[in-house]
């Protein structure tokens, strides 16, 4: 079954950019099967999205197939509404038998790539390019899963990954009931000093114990939930051996020091860096769902 869909997707000369694959009987069947489950994100009317181009960029055929599999595996009941729409990924609120979840769907095409497809589609020499791009995205998802587990193994509050398939990652929703937690950039944090101390401690635990650098640490990737900061978006995190690890570490600390100073504190970059590198990091209890 899987093979069947894959083949129709990549056989040379089969697809033009405007080819309406959704009209093919097998995709119609597949779509009908999960239509109710994704109706929350479809907008009004059958097969319609507020913006068809956005729909195509998020729910392309391989993504629909991945969602289909995850629904049949009992990992998702319904995709309900978008939490965030980004350049690289959309994050949706989902209902599952295990409670609410956040489902991060990475785009399998990006703007640059998309604008190139008109030159590549139909040229037999580039038949594998789309597939290679998708494979890269799939590797990225697996990297985010591993990094989330690694964070949790060292006691860093990060969402527990539950399941993934291709470009779709299901993790615990950080938030209460159906309300996703806000980013620290979106709210007035009542206790910024405490949050800052915790964040510096987390960066230090990641660096000294987990030998990991988040590499996109900022007020955009920290959620505030039940009076605590939670770390998200760890796909790009690198291990200590990465040639730029130290550079990324300094950048991470700089960004969070800037946030602290904008939040009315008066903290010094050098002191904060020394705290991360020199002060012995505590050994935190592992969180469930880590390796």
Could you list the active site residues? 216, 233
**Which among 42-50, 118-126, 175-183, 194-202 is the span making contact with ligand ADP, rule CB under 6 A?**
175-183
Binding mask 178-217 toward Mg ion (x if CB under 5 A, else -) reads ----------------------------------------
DSSP reduced 3-state for 223: strand
Q: Give the residue with the Cβ less far from ligand ADP, 164 or 221.
A: 221
Q: Give the residue with the Cβ less far from ligand ADP, 159 or 229.
A: 159
- By the rule CB under 6 A, 171 interacts with ligand ADP: yes
CA angle, 35 then 102 then 197, to 5°: 170
- By the rule CB under 6 A, 173 interacts with ligand ADP: yes
Give the count of beta carbons closer than 10 Å to the beta carbon of residue 30: 19
Euclidean distance between CA atoms 221 and 234, whole angstroms = 9
**Cβ–Cβ < 8 Å for 262, 184:** no
| Interactions with ligand ADP, residue window 93-152 (CB under 6 A) | 102, 104
Q: Tell me how many residues contact Mg ion (CB under 5 A).
A: 2
Q: Is 158 exposed, middle or buried (0-12, 13-18, 19+ CB in 10 A)?
A: buried
- By the rule CB under 5 A, 221 interacts with Mg ion: yes
Euclidean distance between CA atoms 260 and 196, whole angstroms = 7
Question: Which one, of 216, 200, 215, lies nearest residue 273 by Cα?
Answer: 200
Q: Give the residue with the Cβ less far from ligand ADP, 5 or 224.
A: 224
- By the rule CB under 6 A, 183 interacts with ligand ADP: yes
Radius of gyration of the chain (CA): 21
- By the rule CB under 6 A, 175 interacts with ligand ADP: yes
Chain residues that interact with ligand ADP, rule: CB under 6 A: 83-84, 86, 88-89, 91, 102, 104, 159, 171, 173-175, 180-181, 183, 221, 232-233
């Amino acid at each position: 079954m899987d093979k069947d869909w894959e083949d129709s997707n990549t056989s040379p000369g089969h697809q033009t950019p405007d080819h309406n694959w959704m009209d093919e009987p097998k995709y119609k069947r597949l779509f009908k099967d999960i239509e109710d489950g994704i109706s929350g994100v479809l907008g009004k009317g059958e097969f319609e999205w507020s913006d068809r181009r956005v729909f195509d960029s998020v729910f392309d055929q391989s993504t629909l197939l991945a969602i289909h599999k995850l629904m049949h595996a009992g990992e998702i009941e319904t995709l309900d509404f978008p939490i965030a729409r980004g350049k690289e990924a959309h994050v949706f609120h989902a209902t599952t038998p295990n409670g609410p979840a956040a489902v991060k769907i990475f785009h399998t095409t990006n703007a640059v790539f998309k604008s190139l497809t008109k030159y590549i589609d139909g040229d037999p020499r580039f038949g594998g390019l789309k597939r290679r791009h998708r494979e890269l995205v799939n590797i990225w998802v697996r990297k985010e899963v591993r990094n989330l587990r690694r964070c949790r193994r060292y006691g860093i509050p990060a969402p527990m990954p539950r399941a993934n398939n291709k470009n779709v990652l299901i993790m615990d929703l950080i938030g209460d009931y159906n309300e996703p937690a806000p980013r620290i950039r979106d709210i007035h944090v009542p206790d910024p000093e405490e949050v800052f101390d915790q964040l510096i401690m987390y960066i230090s635990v990641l660096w000294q114990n987990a030998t990991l650098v988040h590499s996109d640490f900022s007020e955009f990737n920290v959620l505030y939930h039940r009076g605590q900061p939670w770390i998200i978006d760890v796909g790009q995190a690198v291990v200590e051996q990465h040639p730029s690890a130290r550079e990324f570490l300094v950048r991470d600390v700089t960004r969070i020091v800037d946030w602290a100073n904008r939040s009315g504190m008066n903290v010094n970059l050098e002191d904060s860096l020394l705290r991360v590198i020199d002060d012995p990091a505590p050994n935190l209890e592992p969180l469930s769902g880590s390796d």
